[in-house]
Structure 1
């Protein structure tokens, strides 16, 4: 169960899958222009739910200025399962871009989702649902965004994610 931090009213300590599902939607609904996701395998229990995929679709279509970037460390599971977020990215390829990482992040175990310039959902370890959500984290978002941009620069499109039109 999420617990509000004593340090800040905008900081929530997360412990469990339901917390991550709830705050991933919260971050998405509070964002206006940019979403960036870094994940080992696109965490289907969080990013593959119908609610999340629908909310991301609405976000991407809400404005011509909206941008979604997704970096995945290991694409094998998403390819094999036909991940719903990948299918959405294929349909909205001008709004949602997915790439496979070729460089390792500084912390190889973490994953995160950034919203605009102030919101972060951070997963300490890809194997457990523990971390935090902060809706007023400008400094942290700036640092994570710089790392994300560096990794994005060297990432490659995943050929298996490309949709063929005949």
Structure 2
């Protein structure tokens, strides 16, 4: 007896086999990073307060070496007169570490920076600006008064005997002195005069607050 309610035993028609060929394995090549590890700076091998000779330099690397040597040996004060905090010379972890060490060693130690243009380091970022946000008591940054005559040179003064001077800031030629109290005294007087007439730029004030 047939059960009409039982499902019909139908077979599905045969389908043609699919011919699939694997295209193989693919290798994923991520582009190499363009970022290079920060280059270590080596300070010049001269002692602050001891080396008497005038040391001339003509390349950015030589200027960096002398600047770092002076900064790392500072014991009481650093004064920087710069067009725009000169990224190549002063925007480096070794420079920041040297300045931090000076400022934290004694609350009377000072770092004073005079700039002709504050917009560029604010826009591009700078380690010394970041440091100024953290250490506000003895690190001060001001703008050279544009309405008064000012020097065209760029220089770094360390304690009472160290000087790095570049007569033309657009080049890296200049000289470094490690033990010349007389010349540093004269340059310090010019810096102090410019500092006394300097301004606190509104953009810089907003950035540091």
Number of equivalent positions: 157
Q: Select which of 107, 114, 137 maps to 2:180.
A: 137
Shift of 1:64: 1.8
Could you list the per-position Cα deviations for residues 31-81 of structure 1 after superposition, in whole angstroms to 9, with x for gaps in the alignment? 210100000111011111111112111111111221010000111211111
Runs of 5+ consecutive residues of structure 1 not aligned to the other structure: none
- 1:106-131 residue CA offsets vs partner (Å, 9 max, x unmatched): x32x1000011110011121100000
The residue that corresponds to 1:98 in the other structure is 141
TM-score calculated relative to the size of structure 1: 0.88
Secondary structure of the 2:182 match is: helix
1:40–1:17 CA distance, 2 compared to 1 (3 A): same
Identify the residue that residue 118 of structure 1 maps to in structure 2. 161
Aligned to 1:46: 89
Paired with 2:113 and 2:68, the residues of 1 have a C-alpha distance of 16
Give 1:83 deviation, angstroms: 1.6
Q: Which moved more, 1:125-134 or 1:73-82?
A: 73-82
Cα gap change, 1:139/1:9 in structure 2, threshold over 3 Å: closer, same or farther? closer
The answer for the alignment partner of 1:65 in structure 2 is 108
The answer to whether the Cα contact below 8 Å between 1:20 and 1:129 also exists between their aligned partners in 2 is yes
SS at match of 1:13: strand
Q: Which has the larger share of helix?
A: 1
TM-score scaled by structure 2? 0.71
Which has the larger Rg? Answer: 2
Judged with a 3 Å threshold, the aligned counterparts in structure 2 of structure 1 residues 10 and 62 are, in CA distance, closer, same or farther, namely farther
Residue 148 (structure 1) aligns with: 191
Q: Using the alignment, how far apart are the partners of 1:116 and 1:49 within structure 2?
A: 21
Greater than 4 Å deviation, 4+ residue runs: none
Which structure dedicates a bigger proportion of its chain to strand?
Answer: 1
Listed as ranges, the gaps of 5+ residues in structure 2 are: 1-43
Deviation at 1:9, TM superposition (A): 4.5
Query: Do the aligned residues in 1 keep the contact of 2:118 with 2:204 (CA within 8 Å)?
Result: no
Root mean square deviation, CA, Å: 1.7
